[in-house]
A = this chain, B = another copy of it.
Amino acid sequence: MATQVTTSQGSSLSQGSSLRDRFEAVRALSRGIAAPLSDADATLQPCPDASPAKWHLAHTTWFFETFVLRDHVEGYRRQDERWAYLFNSYYDGEGARHPRAKRGMLSRPSLAEILDYRERIEEAVLGAFTLLPAPALHLLELGLHHEQQHQELMLTDLLATFSENPLGIALWPREEERPDAAEAMGGARFGGGTAEIGNGGDGFAFDCETPRHPVLLRPFELADRAVTSGEWIRFIEAGGYETPGHWTADGWDWVKRNAIRAPLYWDAGADGYFRYGLDGLHPVDPAEPVAHVSWYEADAFARWAGARLPTEAEWEAAATGCDPLAGNQLDRPGAVRPRPAHGETRLKQMFGDVWEWTASPFTPYPGFRAAEGTVGEYNGKFMVNQFVLRGGSCATPRGHVRASYRNFFYPHQRWQFCGLRLARDIR
């Protein structure tokens, strides 16, 4: 019989085969994502926001080595002390580290050496598995969710990297399919009152999703699908990027300073709009949810459309009852494109396809406490200047996201698969 352990969030997980299986499955997916990469592909860093694939592969492994093996397995000795300096991300509690903006200057260790490092750590973890104390298992589970986050980043960072290459590299073949037309946008109405949001369940959740707490909502309407690329083209062609009245002051400043005219990775030519993806350069599919827009753009689009972005509380309240596993998320390497909405009931595309910008800055929930120890740096110290996104994208590993999940980025960032869903007050 499996022993039950309690995480700091009060959830329980089964200490035994299932966590072990998930460990193996998550680690295998990372290897799969890396499979088509050359040593050089895995080494490049396109900008300070993004990291090399090799770095993601090593950093997620360093996380297990540090917080599980070093801290909880007696006599464990690091594979290479110097790698801790290279592969710590932002944990001040773990000491000095290689500057983030210089991660792309490391041709050594090679991809092969890092894959070998992964293997050795996996062996060490699996070898020690049955002896790991409960806190180590909690950290192991945290490490899995952490690695899933980096799987998504690996994909978006590779996209940023290859988008710099004028040869138009297709890392994966394009899946051919009949393009669907977009369904007309409908809306679901929600009454006001008190709702509970935040994670209070048994499963894993990050500290920033807690504590579960009541919020007051006013009656609102939420669109039943994400805004599409076709709708975005209408915004462009209506002068959306040239009309200051649609924009916040900072957004307008950002548009002018960076000469923004379309979503990231879009290219406008005489033949229409094209979008670069990891499957190459292709015409924009007007039915797919628009991706790679910043908060500034999402907010301006909503204002142009006579709507607004939902708050994260509205989004989460509306998502109750939606199935996180029903969406278009990553379940194997390569499948990273938002897809036209298909006919679900009430609300479509709540999970998967694109992260949906909300109107809510990322702030602590009332009564929030960061996790103990160095992993307390995981979320809390980022609770300023960023906005919450909800729902996961086509690059989010299946099973990773949930209704209470809070992703966060700066309002100018758009290298993630970020899109939006419209909301309106009901008066």
A245 interface contact, C-beta 8 A: yes
A385 interface contact, C-beta 8 A: yes
- Specify which of B90, B106, B161, B244 is in contact with A107 (CB 8 Å cutoff): B161
* Chain A positions 15-67 with a Cβ under 8 Å from a chain B Cβ: 38-44, 46
Evaluate contact between B44 and A105: CB separation under 8 angstroms: yes
A234 interface contact, C-beta 8 A: no
Evaluate contact between B249 and A382: CB separation under 8 angstroms: yes
Residue of B nearest to A246 (CB): B381
Q: A93-B245, A218-B366, A361-B363 are in contact. Are A41 and B384 (CB under 8 A)?
A: no
Residue of B nearest to A85 (CB): B166
Q: How far is the CB of A242 from chain B (nearest CB, A)?
A: 11
Residues of B within 8 A of A162 (CB): 107
* Alpha-carbon distance between A384 and B213 when the two chains are bound, in angstroms: 25
A257 interface contact, C-beta 8 A: no
* Alpha-carbon distance between A252 and B425 when the two chains are bound, in angstroms: 38
A4 interface contact, C-beta 8 A: no
Q: How far is the CB of A361 from chain B (nearest CB, A)?
A: 4
A86 interface contact, C-beta 8 A: yes
How many chain A residues touch the partner (CB < 8 A)? 63
Evaluate contact between A411 and B425: CB separation under 8 angstroms: no
Q: A93-B245, A108-B165, A165-B106 are in contact. Are A384 and B251 (CB under 8 A)?
A: yes
- Specify which of B166, B359, B360 is in contact with A82 (CB 8 Å cutoff): B166
* Alpha-carbon distance between A76 and B216 when the two chains are bound, in angstroms: 49
* 19 chain-A/chain-B pairs, Cβ below 8 angstroms: A38-B110, A39-B39, A40-B110, A40-B111, A43-B43, A46-B105, A86-B166, A92-B252, A102-B164, A107-B162, A108-B167, A213-B218, A216-B216, A218-B367, A248-B384, A249-B381, A359-B364, A366-B425, A367-B425
A residues with a Cβ closer than 8 A to B are 38-44, 46, 82, 85-86, 90, 92-93, 98, 102, 104-111, 161-162, 164-167, 169, 194, 213-216, 218, 244-245, 247-252, 295-296, 299, 359-361, 363-364, 366-367, 381-385, 411, 425, 427
